[in-house]
Structure 1
């Protein structure tokens, strides 16, 4: 779609301040800006996006009231509930000022908020503005979260260890161990968060960063649940958005130069996302599994992801010399560019939804090692439903890691997964081309927002 000059008024975006949520919200903003909307991003001071990456947007920080102890706790549910409590009044005050000071050609027409930032709805009601929810996970994840509430009421949660492999009623692709529970279990505040997330309240529409060819039946079920509120599945958003960087971490582009020197489909890319942490024992097992597989690899070791270590001090002594030119280790990588590179033949991922969509969009099969939450659902779908990955389900152990890498990168099993991944990539490309489902849904969303 060709970029249009501003002509539709101003849209206010309210992202959730975590990388997996910021990315799709800012991508959506870039898409809307290219189609003639002015964009203001109202965000918490915690994990603020970098304004220099989006010169075309206006950024407005609001106080979030988070204490250092809350931030360092790692309790995402508690942080999200605190954000919704603390940001409600500052956001409404910010929006009131914005509407009082707005010029006729910059009139605020809509608030789009992340499903986790539901505090924004109160301001939309108060100012009589249209509001739209952006869902940044898969529909399967949404359905499984809603199911958790029902299972809790039926005393099926917490479940016995003997039930972990059992299928969840009405979620036949998922086992109990695949449910997207918090690392802190299923406390009441987690259930409260789920209830708030999937209550569309007064919103006029729901945007979903997913693809019809991946989740058609789930989307149909969700549309029936939300009816008459329309759902617009317009994923993958990164394929429609103008190229930009919304990373909270500095990307090391030197790894692209290293990839340029590697044979086609020869490199395993490893990244466990922006939140997960691994202990020293797991790092050592990963390191030796990679080395013993004798496969080329690009490994993202995020600073701070190994407790007690600033970066790679926990790697076995002399490890870099042992793997030599077969391995490249960086602090953070330009992931979309890496996955699109011809040298990359596999992706060892935590299976966050953005990473899963990016891998699917480039036809790259996966080794799935989910850490928590929706990652478990995505890993199960990638490995069991779509057949484009294999899942590491046990404690990390070097021999199992070595076998998994060779299965993906060398064996016929991996070649079959690569073939399925390429087929899904082709279906995704049809969805985003003119006349495809995502393209048409985006067109309908733009028409919906222009009234």
Structure 2
């Protein structure tokens, strides 16, 4: 894992409430060069402040990771911030964050629900597709980026989804549902909450189970 660059929190402190697009695709997903290019163009054209986590290339990784387009940092200076890694929980809980562009891994899904932050779902494999559907179609707390015929989301699609979740006709309702889901998650882990009860039942079941020598 990488060290968190916490100066991004100081940068967020200087941004307006609910204004920043937070972009991170977790510790495992590797973006192609075309994906990187289109996300960069979409962010730039949206003209919104952004915080983008771009991991350094990993040694021995078979898939070559995409890089930031040439000149992107200079063109977006004063608008966005690119870091190698950050404390995601701190970022999502910050009042400046408006939405989270995410691969919808399970950890990121839980963290954005608990933070009450709308999502721009960009899933690719395994459970990410199911998690994205849960967030966008069931809970309705975000929108989903759709790939084009070449299997990659266009820059126009990225820009469109950013605008949709922040300024679109459903943006207020999306944010409202995200905050309601945050409160539901909070109640679930409180004493007497559904999550706390289920966890206690799980522990009780293990405690009642006879211990056999073969299990040790």
TM-score range, shorter chain: 0.7 to 0.9
Give the match for residue 193 of structure 1: none
Q: Answer whether contact 1:252 1:330 (CA < 8 A) is retained.
A: yes
- Using the alignment, how far apart are the partners of 1:362 and 1:271 within structure 2? 15
Aligned to 1:416: 173
The counterpart of 1:342, out of the listed 95, 100, 113, is 95
d(CA) in 1 for partners of 2:18, 2:11: 14
1:403 matched to which residue of 2? 160
Deviation at 1:448, TM superposition (A): 4.3
Aligned to 2:11: 258
- Would the aligned equivalents of 1:349 and 1:367 in 2 still touch at CA under 8 Å? yes
Within 2, Cα distance between the matches of 1:260 and 1:412?
28
Rounded to whole Å, the distance in 2 between the matches of 1:316 and 1:447 is 54
More RCO (CA 8 Å, sep 6+):
2
- Which whole-Å deviations, capped at 9, do the CAs of 1:32-84 have from their partners, x for residues lacking one? xxxxxxxxxxxxxxxxxxxxxxxxxxxxxxxxxxxxxxxxxxxxxxxxxxxxx
CA contact (8 A) 2:146 2:157 kept: no
Equivalenced residue count is: 201
The match for 1:279 among 21, 24, 32 is: 32
CA separation in 2, counterparts of 1:304 and 1:380?
Answer: 30
The separation in 2 between residues aligned to 1:448 and 1:257, in whole angstroms, is 46
* 2:104 alignment partner in structure 1: 351
Q: Distance in 1 between matches of 2:108 and 2:7?
A: 20
Q: From the CA coordinates, give the structure whose radius of gyration is larger.
A: 1
* Native 8 Å contact 2:8 2:86 kept in 1: yes
**Deviation string for 1:11-41 (max 9, x for gaps)?**
xxxxxxxxxxxxxxxxxxxxxxxxxxxxxxx
Cα separation, 2, equivalents of 1:253 and 1:335:
10
* Shift in Å, 1:407: 0.8
Q: Structure 2: any 5+ residue segments left out of the alignment?
A: 209-216
Match of 1:328 among 60, 71, 81: 81
Q: Are residues 1:428 and 2:185 paired?
A: yes
For residues 2 and 85 of structure 2, what CA distance do their matches in structure 1 show? 7
Task: Give the conservation status (yes or no) of the 8 Å contact 2:5–2:86.
Answer: yes
Distance 1:372 1:443 in 2: 32
Q: Distance in 2 between matches of 1:386 and 1:289?
A: 25
Q: TM-score, normalised by structure 2?
A: 0.86
Distance 1:274 1:262 in 2: 26
Partner residue of 1:315 out of 44, 68, 78? 68
Query: CA-to-partner distance for each residue in 1:300-344, whole Å, 9 max, x for gaps?
Result: 1111279546xx8x3222211211121111111111111111111
Within-5 A mapping of 1:384-399: 384-394=137-147, 395-399=152-156
Listed as ranges, the gaps of 5+ residues in structure 1 are 1-247
Shift of 1:450: 4.8
CA shift, 1:399, in A, is 1.3
Give RMSD over aligned pairs. 1.8
Q: In the alignment, is the contact (CA less than 8 A) between 2:42 and 2:156 conserved in 1?
A: yes
Deviation for aligned residue 1:253:
1.3
Q: Counterpart of 1:324 in 2: which secondary structure?
A: coil
Match of 2:55 among 298, 302, 309: 302
How far apart, in 1, do the equivalents of 2:134 and 2:84 lie?
28
Structure 1 position 361 matched with structure 2 position 114: yes
